[in-house]
C-alpha cells in the first residue's frame, strides 16, 4: 500500500488506463497546460501529448457533444467539468444523447464516456457553485453515477468507470482533492454498484456517500463514547444502488439515518427511504430520518453556510431520535 492524495488517485487512474488503451483521452478546461484546475491531471500532457490531453474553450455544451460523438465512433473519452455546476450548460448532451443513444439506435451505438469533476459545496463559493446534482443524473435511465469518498475508492472506481461501455457520471469534491489515503500498489478496480460497510455497528445504520460521509464518521466516534454503535455504509455508486447492502444492514440494526449533501426534495435519501419502507418495513423500530441541506440555495455567508450544510451534530441528533434517546 502507498499513501497518496485524492487528486493523485484520480490522475493515476486516468494515466494507467490511458497507457492501457489508446482510445482513451482526456478533454476539458485547463486539463492540459495547467495540469488541471485542481491538479488532477498533473503530468498527463507531458506523457500523452496534446492529441490525448486536450484543453478546451469555456464551452461545456461543445466539448461534451464532441465527447459523445467520439465515443459513438470508438473512442473512450474522459470529459472533465471544472465543476458539475457548469455541466448544466452541457446537460442536453448528457441526458438527451449520451444516456439514450444505445436504446435509440437499437444497440448500434454505445457511448463509453466518463463525465467527471467536482460536486457539492466547496466552501464559500455561493449558490451557483455549491450544488449537488447526483440525484438529477441518477434519475435518468442510461447513466451510472459514482461518488467516491476517499483516494482508494476514487482510483478503483474511476478505472472501472473508464472501462465501462456506458456513460458514467463520476462526481468528486474540491474539498477532497488534498485528502490522503492508502491505495494498493499495482492495478486494481472496484466494481460499480457495490457499497461498502466502512464501519461495523449494531444499533443504527447510517447511509451516506461523498465527502459528507466524514461527518458520519465524526458522529460515530462521539456516539461510541456513549455506548451507541453505528454501522456506516458508503454507497460509492449512487446508481446502480446496492440495495441489498442497505436492506441487510437495516434488518440487523432496525434503524436508519441517511446523510446526504443535497436539497431535501426528491433526492437519493428519498429513494433509499422508499426502498426500506417497501422492502424492510417490518424490521424498522423507528421512522427513517434523512439529513439534507436546507431547502434554499447555498448561502455565501460563512455563518449561514454552517447552518445550511449538514454536520456531525445533525447526525448525532438524528441517531438519538431513531433510538428514542
Give the dihedral of Cα atoms 296, 124, 59, 46; nearest 10 deg.
Answer: -140
Give the dihedral of Cα atoms 114, 119, 125, 130; nearest 10 deg.
Answer: 120
Q: Please indicate whether residue 312 is annotated as part of the active site.
A: no
Distances (CA, A) of 223 to 203, 206, 216, 313: 11, 12, 10, 10
Q: Report the half-sphere exposure of 13 (CA within 13 A, side-chain side).
A: 29
The span from the CA of 322 to the CA of 33, in Å, is: 51
Q: Active site residue: 80, 129, 260, 271, which one?
A: 129
Do 259 and 220 meet the contact criterion of CB atoms below 8 Å apart? no
The span from the CA of 186 to the CA of 45, in Å, is: 22
The span from the CA of 293 to the CA of 205, in Å, is: 20
The span from the CA of 325 to the CA of 185, in Å, is: 45
Q: Report the half-sphere exposure of 237 (CA within 13 A, side-chain side).
A: 20
**HEC sequence for 200-246:** CCCCEEEEECHHHHHHHHHHHHHHHCCCCCEEEEECCEEECCCHHHH
Show the cell assigned to 192.
460499480
The span from the CA of 322 to the CA of 204, in Å, is: 8
Q: Active site residue: 60, 215, 231, 261, which one?
A: 60
The span from the CA of 191 to the CA of 157, in Å, is: 7
Taking Cα atoms as reference points, which of 82, 98, 76 lies closest to residue 25? Answer: 76
- β-sheet bridge partners, residue 24: 76
- β-sheet bridge partners, residue 230: 204
User: Which residues form the catalytic set?
Assistant: 60, 129
Amino acid at each position: 500500500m502507498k499513501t497518496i492524495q485524492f487528486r493523485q488517485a484520480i490522475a493515476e487512474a486516468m494515466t494507467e488506463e490511458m497507457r492501457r488503451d489508446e482510445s482513451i483521452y482526456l478533454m476539458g478546461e485547463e486539463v492540459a497546460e495547467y495540469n488541471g484546475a485542481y491538479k488532477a491531471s498533473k503530468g498527463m500532457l507531458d506523457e500523452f501529448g496534446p492529441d490525448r490531453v486536450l484543453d478546451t474553450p469555456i464551452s461545456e455544451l461543445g466539448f461534451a457533444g464532441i465527447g459523445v460523438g467520439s465515443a459513438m465512433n470508438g473512442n473512450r473519452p474522459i470529459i472533465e467539468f471544472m465543476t458539475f455546476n457548469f455541466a448544466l450548460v452541457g446537460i442536453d448532451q448528457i441526458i438527451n444523447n449520451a444516456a439514450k443513444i444505445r436504446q435509440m439506435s437499437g444497440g448500434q451505438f454505445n457511448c463509453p464516456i466518463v463525465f467527471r469533476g467536482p460536486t457539492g459545496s466547496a466552501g464559500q463559493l455561493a449558490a451557483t457553485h455549491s450544488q449537488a446534482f447526483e440525484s438529477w443524473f441518477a434519475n435518468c435511465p442510461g447513466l451510472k453515477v459514482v461518488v467516491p469518498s476517499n483516494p482508494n475508492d476514487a482510483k478503483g472506481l474511476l478505472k472501472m468507470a473508464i472501462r465501462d461501455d456506458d456513460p458514467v457520471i463520476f462526481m468528486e469534491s474540491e474539498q477532497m482533492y488534498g485528502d490522503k489515503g492508502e491505495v494498493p500498489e499495482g492495478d486494481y478496480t472496484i466494481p460499480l454498484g457495490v457499497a461498502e460497510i466502512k464501519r461495523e455497528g449494531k444499533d443504527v445504520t447510517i447511509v451516506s456517500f461523498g465527502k459528507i460521509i466524514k461527518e458520519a464518521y465524526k458522529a460515530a466516534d462521539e456516539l461510541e463514547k456513549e455506548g451507541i454503535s453505528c454501522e456506516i455504509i458508503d454507497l460509492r455508486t449512487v446508481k446502480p444502488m446496492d440495495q441489498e447492502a442497505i436492506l441487510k444492514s437495516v434488518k440487523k440494526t432496525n434503524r436508519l439515518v441517511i446523510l446526504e449533501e443535497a436539497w431535501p426534495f426528491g433526492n437519493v435519501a428519498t429513494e433509499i427511504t422508499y426502498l426500506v419502507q417497501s422492502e424492510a418495513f417490518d424490521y424498522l423500530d423507528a421512522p427513517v430520518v434523512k439529513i439534507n441541506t436546507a431547502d434554499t440555495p447555498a448561502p455565501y455567508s460563512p455563518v449561514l453556510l454552517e447552518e445550511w450544510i449538514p454536520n456531525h451534530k445533525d447526525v448525532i441528533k438524528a441517531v438519538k431520535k431513531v433510538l428514542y434517546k
